[in-house]
Chains A and B, each alone.
Chain A
Amino acid sequence: MKSRPLLILAACLFIRLVSPAQDKVGFKYGEVSPQDFLPTAYPIDSSANAVVLADVGSTEIVGNNNGWFSLVFKRYTRIRILNKNGYDAANVQIHLYSDGRLEENLNNLKAVTYNLDNGTVTQTKLEKSNVFKDQLDRNWFVKKFTLPNIKEGSIIEYQYEIQSDFIHNLQPWNFQGDNPVLWSEYNVSIPSFLTYTFLSQGYQPFFIKDSKDKTMSFNVAESGGTTATERISFTAGVTTYRWVMKDVPALKQESFTTTLKNHIARIEFQLSEYREPLEYKNVMGSWKDMAAQFLQSEYFGDPISKPNNWLDDEVKPLIATAHSDVEKAENIFNYVRDHFSCTDHNRLEMDQTLKALDKTKKGNEAEINLLLTAMLRYARIPTDPVILSTTSNGYVPPLYPLVSRYNYVVARALINDQPVFLDASLPHLGFGRLMPYCYNGYARIINTEATPVILSPDSILERKVSSIFASFDDKGNLTGSMEQKLGYYESMDIRDRIKEKGKDALISEMQKAYGTDARIEGAVFDSLDNADNSLSMRYDFKTGQTKEDLIYLNPLFAEAWKENPFKSAKRLYPVEMPYAMDETYLLNFTIPDGYQVDELPEQVVVKLNEKGDGRFEYRLAVQENSISLRTRVVLKRTFYKPEEYDMLREFFNLIVKKQGEQIVLKKKK
Chain B
Amino acid sequence: MRTQVVLLAVLSLILSRPAGAAGGDGAYSVANIPASLLKNAHVVKRMEVERFDLKNPGEAVYSIKYALTILDEAGDDYAEFAVHYDKFQSIRSIDATLYDANGKEVRSLKARDIQDKSGVSENNLIDDDRMKEHNFYCRNYPYTVEYSYEMKFTGTMFYPFWMPLQDEHVAVQSSQFIFTCPADYQFRFKAFNYTGQPVQTQEKDRKVFTWQVGNLPAVTLEPYAPELRFLTTYIVFGPTQFEMQDYKGTMETWADLGKFIYALKQGRDQLPENIRATVHQMTDNEPDPYEKIRKLYEFMQKNTRYVSVQLGIGGWQPYDAGYVATKGYGDCKALVNYMYSLLKEAGITSYYTVIRAGRGRKSFLTDFPASTFNHVILCVPVKQDTVWLECTNQTIPAGYLGDFTDDRYGLLVDENGGHLVHTPRYGLRENLQVRHIKASLDEGGNLQVQANSTYDAEQQDDVSGLINTLSRDKVKEYLHENLDFATYDISSFDYREKKGRLPSVDESLAISVSNYATATGRRVFILPNVMSRARLRLKEDTARQYDVVLDYAYRDVDTVEISLPAGYQPEAMPPDVDVSNPFGRYRCSVRLLGNTLYYYRLREQYSGRFPATQYNDLVRLLELVYKNDRNRVVLVKKD
Contacts and interface: CB of A to CB of B under 8 A. Distances in A.
B73 interface: yes
Interface string A336-360: 0011111100000000000000011
Contacts of B474: 47
Given A362-B136, A508-B539, A516-B626, A568 B326 contact: no
Nearest to A45: B473
Contacts of A600: 520-521
Nearest to A599: B521
Contacts of A146: 125, 307, 329
A134 B515 contact: no
Interface in B458-494: 468-474, 477, 480-481, 486-487, 489-490
Contacts of B489: 569
A206 interface: no
Interface stretch (B47-55, B137-145, B350-358, B398-406): B137-145
B472 A341 contact: no
Contacts of A124: 326-328
Contacts of A510: none
A24 interface: no
Interface residues of A, number: 62
A653 interface: yes
B487 A652 contact: yes
Contacts of B520: 599-601, 661-662, 664
B487 to A, nearest CB: 4
Contacts of B125: 91, 132, 144, 146
Contacts of A151: 302-303, 328
Contacts of B73: 427, 499
Contacts of A136: 117-118
Nearest to A562: B486
Given A151-B328, A563-B486, A660 B115 contact: no
Contacts of B302: 151-152
Contacts, number: 139
Contact of B74 (A338, A339, A499): A499
A245 B537 CA distance: 52
Contacts of B571: 550
Interface in A423-451: 427
A255 B481 CA distance: 10
Nearest to B106: A361
A660 B518 contact: yes
A595 interface: no
B307 A564 contact: no
Interface size class of B (residues with CB under 8 A): 35 or more
Contacts of A383: none
Interface string A143-173: 0101011111000000000000000000000
A552 interface: yes
Interface in A311-367: 338-343, 359-362
B10 interface: no
B514 A84 contact: no
B634 interface: yes
Nearest to B395: A84
A360 B98 CA distance: 11
Nearest to B514: A653
A637 to B, nearest CB: 21
A656 to B, nearest CB: 4
Question: Which has the most chain B C-beta neighbours within 10 Å: A84, A500, A515, A649?
Answer: A84
Nearest to A569: B489
B120 interface: yes
A340 B139 contact: yes
Nearest to A566: B487
B165 to A, nearest CB: 20
Contacts of A664: 520, 523
B444 to A, nearest CB: 10
B507 interface: no
Contacts of A500: 74
Nearest to B117: A137
Contacts of A359: 107
Contact of B486 (A138, A338, A564): A564
A87 B468 CA distance: 13
A168 to B, nearest CB: 26
A360 B481 contact: no
Contacts of B135: 343, 362
A149 B326 contact: yes
B627 interface: yes
A568 B139 contact: no
A236 B8 CA distance: 66
Nearest to A544: B627
A668 interface: no
Contact of A552 (B473, B525, B626): B525
B140 A339 contact: yes
A49 B471 contact: yes
B126 interface: yes
Contacts of A515: 627
A645 to B, nearest CB: 13
A215 interface: no
25 contacts: A84-B305, A84-B394, A84-B468, A124-B328, A137-B118, A148-B327, A149-B327, A149-B328, A341-B137, A341-B139, A359-B107, A360-B107, A427-B139, A499-B74, A500-B74, A550-B571, A567-B481, A599-B521, A649-B487, A653-B487, A660-B486, A662-B520, A662-B523, A664-B520, A664-B523
Given A150-B305, A516-B537, 10 more contacts: A124-B328, A136-B118, A146-B307, A148-B329, A340-B139, A343-B137, A499-B73, A563-B486, A568-B480, A653-B486
